[in-house]
């Protein structure tokens, strides 16, 4: 009997920790991505670093402040490991009431997060190249690499299309599942065109950052719903 009680308490503690962890991940992940784009040395380009003109990244790295560059590289290292957790957490909030939308949304988010692994590796490679001061040679090499269809479609297109569709579909899932107020779901959906077509169309990195901040703020009610304990009364009142 004592063992059963202990096991139950341990299980409850584990469930509390898992729910709390993913609730925090929902908010922290878009903040981490906003920080990545805010600290990218080639600030101003929403595709930082711009694959169509890699030579611009090299002088930007050399001109960057040392501590800010090191912080950027640290965040760059963390993103591939943490970015997928945000989509998993979002999926945990809505999958019971909107299973198919959640499955599709998390799937798109997952493949975009996987694509970030090569992106992170690319950043370290480009940063090392910048310190060697062979801009013309390295730029020609990088242009050849990013022009390869495996990289262009398997990494670039998967990343861009994947995370934008993920936020749109998961925002709709939150609306259908009623796990957050209407404004939360609407803001998450609207964040996708802000950080995608608008940011790239106007070539404004600030819009990319603003889009992730929109997701972070709109995810607070979703995280509150997922947080262990009584459900908030506002959840479901759309």
* Residue 133 region by backbone torsions, left for phi larger than 0, else alpha for psi between -120 and 50, else beta: left
Average per-residue pLDDT for the chain: 89
pLDDT at 155: 87
pLDDT at 237: 47
> Does the pLDDT at position 235 exceed 60?
no
Mean pLDDT of 152-167: 91
> Does the pLDDT at position 14 exceed 80?
yes
Higher pLDDT, 73 or 5: 73
> Does the pLDDT at position 141 exceed 70?
yes
> Does the pLDDT at position 53 exceed 90?
no
pLDDT at 1: 45
Integer Cα distance of 221 and 28 in angstroms: 13
Confidence of residue 49 (pLDDT cuts 50, 70, 90): confident
Q: How does pLDDT run across 175-198, given as a tens digit for each residue?
A: 999 999 999 999 999 999 999 999
Start-to-end CA distance of the chain, whole Å, equals: 45
Closest CA to 22 of 75, 81, 101, 88: 88
Domain boundaries in the chain?
A: 17-226
| Single pTM value for the model | 0.88
> Does the pLDDT at position 227 exceed 70?
yes
Higher pLDDT, 21 or 5: 21
143: its two tokens: 């242009």
Confidence of residue 45 (pLDDT cuts 50, 70, 90): confident
């Amino acid at each position: 009997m004592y063992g059963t009680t202990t096991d139950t308490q341990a299980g409850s503690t584990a469930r509390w920790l898992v729910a709390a962890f993913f609730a925090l991940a929902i908010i922290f992940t878009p903040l981490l991505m906003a920080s990545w784009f805010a600290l990218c040395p080639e600030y101003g380009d929403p595709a930082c670093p711009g694959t169509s003109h890699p030579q611009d990244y090299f002088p930007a790295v050399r001109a960057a402040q040392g501590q800010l560059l090191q912080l950027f590289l640290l965040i760059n290292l963390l993103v591939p490991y943490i970015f997928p957790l945000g989509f998993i957490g979002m999926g945990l909030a809505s999958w019971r009431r909107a299973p198919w939308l959640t499955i599709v949304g998390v799937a798109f988010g997952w493949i975009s997060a996987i694509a970030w692994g090569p992106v992170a590796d690319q950043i370290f490679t480009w940063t090392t190249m910048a310190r060697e001061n062979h801009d013309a040679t390295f730029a020609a090499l990088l242009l050849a690499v990013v022009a390869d269809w495996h990289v262009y479609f398997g990494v670039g297109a998967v990343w861009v299309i994947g995370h934008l569709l993920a936020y749109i579909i998961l925002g709709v899932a939150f609306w259908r599942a009623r796990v957050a107020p209407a404004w939360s779901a609407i803001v998450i959906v609207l964040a996708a065109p802000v950080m995608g077509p608008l940011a790239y169309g106007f070539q404004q990195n600030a819009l990319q950052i603003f889009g992730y901040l929109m997701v972070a703020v709109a995810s607070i009610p979703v995280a509150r719903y997922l947080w262990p304990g009584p459900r908030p009364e506002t959840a479901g009142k759309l």
